[in-house]
């Protein structure tokens, strides 16, 4: 069963429960009102009857009240009226029945009788009677009692018919409200579930590999926000998919080019050996060495990533001087910078005290950042500054190179992330593995530090390695 059907069923059940509760409340209250009206009416009849009895008692034979006495029995529920005196002897009586016994349905609650007079129910040969009597004094001071017998069944029938009439209009209103509730539920669930359905369809399409599929964003409500987030996620997925494709093509290139280099060199050596030109061999051996070093570096990076991911990369903490490490790293790139015509300088502004850290790993971080600065600078300079402040030591690497577009900065330290510095969609212009900064950031954070970067396209970059002293 779909979530929409479940919600509709839930709301309809809720509506039905509310309607049932309202019906019960209405029936109870209406019955109480009808019952109290009826009791008031019966009491008025009893009071009027006591007036009539008193008058007949005071002026027997002459009273005009005899006429009224007869009119009581015109009320359908009254089946017997009588007046008695102080000795309980009946001096006036009129009766209407005997009515046929009928089953008396007592379905609804009964309420306590009025507090004036004595109200009793009795069963007279199967006929339910409500017997009311009121003791009073006549105007001349004689003790009299007025008695009225009501047919309980007729009273009940009249009350039930009043309740039916009131309920009819209540049920019409309730049915209209229920119908509006049902229609509203259908409309609301449709409005809510249509975008969810659209999103489910989009997720299916994207899952099937069409990563360029997007959901139309309508409005700025929660659904609109969800659709926008969904689209954002699809964009990211597409980016990662592109990155994966680029990575596969470049990793193949990165692995193949040194291997091809080694193969070429060994072919050349073979030719030299055949021609017995042994003197030319050493040059080729240097090239083979360079290629295998490159291959090794690449494989090392991949191994390091796997170490980081399995949590096996540990630090070998020793006393270390950051200035010495930075100086070593700068010197290792001097000749490369010189070849490119880039001025590489190390500027020490103050004494740098020793600190604790893993020297090999920190050297790896410094040479990655300095190496990148030289690699991505074609003219101008790369300046490396070192500073110490209480609690912190900083190495700042400023270059005048190609810079990094602002939109790329947030992903710069992600695994395998390289910036395409050429025309869009041309993977061949990406250089390196995109692993260096990811590893550098990890190592720096393992030391309790961080790497900050400021850069803009074409204006150079500043990388700052901040380490706790």
What is the contact surface with ligand ADP in residues (CB under 6 A)?
A: 368, 372-373, 376, 399, 401-404, 412, 417-419, 431-438, 461
- Residue number with CB closer to ligand ADP (189 or 431): 431
Cβ 211 to ligand ADP, closest distance in Å? 23
Calpha distance 300→304 (Å, rounded): 6
Find the Cα–Cα–Cα–Cα dihedral 255, 259, 264, 270, rounded to 10°. Answer: 180
**Could you tell me if 39 and 111 are in contact, meaning their C-beta atoms sit under 8 angstroms apart?**
yes
- Residue number with CB closer to ligand ADP (234 or 243): 243
Cβ 408 to ligand ADP, closest distance in Å? 8
Residues contacting 202, CB < 8 A, separation 6+: 213, 214, 215, 230, 234
- Residue number with CB closer to ligand ADP (190 or 297): 297
Cβ 364 to ligand ADP, closest distance in Å? 11
Residues contacting 208, CB < 8 A, separation 6+: none
In Å, what is the CA distance from 91 to each residue of 71, 139, 396?
17, 17, 124
- Residue number with CB closer to ligand ADP (294 or 356): 294
Residue by residue, DSSP assigns 390-450 as: TTEEEEEEEE-SS---GGGGGGTTSTT-----SSTT-GGG--S-S-HHHHHHHHHHHTT-E
- Residue number with CB closer to ligand ADP (117 or 460): 460
Calpha distance 371→382 (Å, rounded): 10
Calpha distance 140→369 (Å, rounded): 124
Residues contacting 347, CB < 8 A, separation 6+: 383, 384, 385, 386
- Residue number with CB closer to ligand ADP (195 or 403): 403
Cβ 311 to ligand ADP, closest distance in Å? 21
Q: Which residue is nearest to ligand ADP (CB)?
A: 432
- Residue number with CB closer to ligand ADP (211 or 337): 337
Cα 78 to chain centroid distance, Å, stands at 67
Cβ 430 to ligand ADP, closest distance in Å? 6
- Residue number with CB closer to ligand ADP (8 or 437): 437
Calpha distance 320→447 (Å, rounded): 13
Backbone angles phi, psi at 231, to 5 degrees: -60, -40
**Could you tell me if 111 and 32 are in contact, meaning their C-beta atoms sit under 8 angstroms apart?**
yes
Cβ 431 to ligand ADP, closest distance in Å? 6
- Residue number with CB closer to ligand ADP (234 or 412): 412
Cβ 331 to ligand ADP, closest distance in Å? 19
Cβ 321 to ligand ADP, closest distance in Å? 25
How many CB atoms lie under 10 A from the CB of residue 44?
Answer: 10
Please state the length of the chain. Answer: 469
Cβ 412 to ligand ADP, closest distance in Å? 6
């Amino acid at each position: 069963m779909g979530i929409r059907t479940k919600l509709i069923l839930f709301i309809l059940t809720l509506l039905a429960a509310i309607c049932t509760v309202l019906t019960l409340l209405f029936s109870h209250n209406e019955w109480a009102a009808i019952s109290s009206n009826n009791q008031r009416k019966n009491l008025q009849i009893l009071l009027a009857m006591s007036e009539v009895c008193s008058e007949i008692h005071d002026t027997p034979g002459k009273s005009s009240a005899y006429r009224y006495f007869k009119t009581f029995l015109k009320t359908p529920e009254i089946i017997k009226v009588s007046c008695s005196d102080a000795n309980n002897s009946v001096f006036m009586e009129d009766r209407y029945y005997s009515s046929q016994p009928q089953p008396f349905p007592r379905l609804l609650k009964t309420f306590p009788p009025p507090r004036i007079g004595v109200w009793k129910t009795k069963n007279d040969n199967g006929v339910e009677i409500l017997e009311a009597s009121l003791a009073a004094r006549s105007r001349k001071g004689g003790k009299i009692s007025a008695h009225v017998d009501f047919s309980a069944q007729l009273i009940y029938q009249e009350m039930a018919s009043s309740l039916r009439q009131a309920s009819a209009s209540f049920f019409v209103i309730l049915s209209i409200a229920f119908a509006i509730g049902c229609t509203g539920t259908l409309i609301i669930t449709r409005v809510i579930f249509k975008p969810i359905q659209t999103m489910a369809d989009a997720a299916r399409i994207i899952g099937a590999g069409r990563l360029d599929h997007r959901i139309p964003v309508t409005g700025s409500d929660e659904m609109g926000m969800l659709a926008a987030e969904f689209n954002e996620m699809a964009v990211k997925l597409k980016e990662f998919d592109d990155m994966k494709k680029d990575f596969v093509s470049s990793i193949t290139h990165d692995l193949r080019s040194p291997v091809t280099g080694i193969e070429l060199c060994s072919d050349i050596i073979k030719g030299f050996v055949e021609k017995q030109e042994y003197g030319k061999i050493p040059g080729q051996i240097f090239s083979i060495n360079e290629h295998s070093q490159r291959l090794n570096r690449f494989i090392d990076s991949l191994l390091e990533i796997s170490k980081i991911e399995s949590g096996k990369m540990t630090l070998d903490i020793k006393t270390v001087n950051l200035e010495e490490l930075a100086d070593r790293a700068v010197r290792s790139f001097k000749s490369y910078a010189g070849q490119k015509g880039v001025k590489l300088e190390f500027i020490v502004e103050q004494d740098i005290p020793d600190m604790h850290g893993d020297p090999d790993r920190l050297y790896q971080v410094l040479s990655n950042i300095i190496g990148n600065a030289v690699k991505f600078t074609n003219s101008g300079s790369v300046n490396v500054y070192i500073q110490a402040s209480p609690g912190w030591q900083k190495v700042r690497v400023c270059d005048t190179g190609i810079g990094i577009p602002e939109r790329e900065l947030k992903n710069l330290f992600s695994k395998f992330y390289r910036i395409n510095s050429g025309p869009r969609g041309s993977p061949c212009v990406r250089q390196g593995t995109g692993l260096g900064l990811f590893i550098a950031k990890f190592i720096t954070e393992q030391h309790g530090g961080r790497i900050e970067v400021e850069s803009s396209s074409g204006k150079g970059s500043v990388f700052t390695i901040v380490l706790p002293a």
